[in-house]
């Protein structure tokens, strides 16, 4: 199923991590729709709880209106090259699967180290385009058979959808790691 998604947003941070309410969910849904998206990944730094809570509120009060994919942004230090650390978004997909996407390549180091269990990489990022060397990243993506994404990395509501990607959600689920 093809959907237009912004898979890297910090929505919980936007609302100061206050518990998501139907009113907050309605505000987020309105922005998702205004941006022409089918859904978003809620990937606050180091925590998944807010994204899970928002997902529950949306499913309960606004079923089938938008796709909310809970996730988190984490730090990764590759064992093979610990000085080439990077951020990774972990997305908890339908069916109990985990999809890992390499975030803003080139921000911490010019090297792009791909480890097992990484399924995608950002080639566009609203806040970090200035350092993403797109030809290098596209080459790495091809070498490692990674899906490529453009994302907003939104820190305020109106940035959601500033960049997005049409993606085959079934393909993401197929590539993702089963959690059980």
Four-point Cα dihedral 167, 173, 177, 178, nearest 10: 160
CA nearest neighbour of 121 among 96, 78, 87, 156: 87
First-to-last alpha carbon distance for the chain, in angstroms, is: 24
pLDDT at 130: 83
Residues 75/45, Cβ–Cβ less than 8 Å = no
Q: What 3-state class would DSSP assign to 123?
A: strand
Q: Which two tokens stand for residue 138?
A: 């596209």
pLDDT at 128: 83
pLDDT at 96: 97
Q: CB atoms < 10 A from the CB of 168, how many?
A: 12
pLDDT at 110: 84
Q: What does the domain layout of the chain look like in residue ranges?
A: 2-178
Q: Residue 27, exposed/middle/buried by CB under 10 A (0-12, 13-18, 19+)?
A: middle
pTM reported for the whole predicted model: 0.95
Q: Which fold has domain 2-178?
A: TIM Barrel (3.20.20)
CA nearest neighbour of 110 among 87, 133, 142: 133
pLDDT at 131: 84
Q: Per-residue pLDDT for the chain (180 aa), expressed as one digit of tens each?
A: 999 999 999 999 999 999 999 999 999 999 999 999 999 999 999 999 999 999 999 999 999 999 999 999 999 999 999 899 899 999 999 999 999 999 998 877 888 999 999 999 999 999 887 888 899 999 999 999 999 999 999 999 999 999 999 999 999 999 999 998
Q: What 3-state class would DSSP assign to 5?
A: strand
């Amino acid at each position: 199923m093809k959907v237009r998604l912004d898979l890297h947003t910090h929505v919980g941070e936007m609302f100061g991590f206050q518990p998501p309410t139907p009113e907050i969910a309605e505000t987020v849904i309105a922005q998702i729709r205004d941006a022409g998206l089918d859904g978003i990944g809620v990937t606050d730094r180091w925590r998944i709880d807010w994204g899970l809570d928002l997902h529950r509120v949306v499913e309960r009060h606004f079923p089938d209106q938008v796709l909310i994919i809970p996730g988190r942004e984490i730090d990764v230090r590759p064992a093979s090259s610990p000085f080439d650390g990077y951020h990774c978004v972990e997305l908890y997909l339908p069916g109990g699967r985990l999809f890992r996407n390499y975030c803003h390549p080139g921000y911490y180091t010019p090297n792009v180290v791909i480890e097992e269990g990484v399924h995608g990489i950002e080639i566009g990022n609203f806040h970090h385009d200035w350092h993403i060397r797109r030809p290098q990243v596209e080459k790495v993506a091809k070498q490692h058979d990674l899906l490529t994404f453009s994302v907003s990395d939104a820190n305020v509501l109106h940035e959601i959808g500033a960049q997005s990607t049409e993606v085959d959600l079934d393909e993401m689920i197929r590539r993702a790691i089963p959690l059980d």
